[in-house]
Homo-oligomer: A and B are copies of this chain.
């Protein structure tokens, strides 16, 4: 029997995969770790702490920002980044739900 393939993906599947994608590079996980520890951080500090060029760090920051996990506030010549708690809570719940049903073989 052939099933319809019209439904594609659920909202949960799309949202979870987007959060996962945001965390799918060690540099971005490190940025989250640093922000978790420090609370806030400017770009230059992150550049010093990461093994990447300034342009590349900025690119990773943009990806995290676009995923909604972090936010950046311009403060004079710098940009101050921090975790976006609402999105982190959402992400935490999404992963907790995914990992909660371990009725395996």
| A37 neighbours in B (Cβ, 8 Å) | 101
Q: Which chain B residues lie closer than 8 Å to A40 at the CB level?
A: 105
| Stoichiometry (number of copies) | 2
A contact residues, total (Cβ < 8 Å): 53
A5 neighbours in B (Cβ, 8 Å): 50-51
Q: List 19 A-B contacts (CB under 8 A).
A: A2-B48, A9-B27, A13-B30, A14-B26, A16-B23, A16-B26, A17-B24, A17-B28, A17-B29, A20-B20, A20-B21, A20-B29, A21-B25, A24-B24, A29-B98, A32-B98, A36-B98, A40-B105, A88-B99
Going nearest first, the 8 A-B pairs with the smallest beta carbon separation are A92-B99, A20-B23, A21-B24, A9-B26, A5-B51, A82-B105, A83-B104, A13-B26
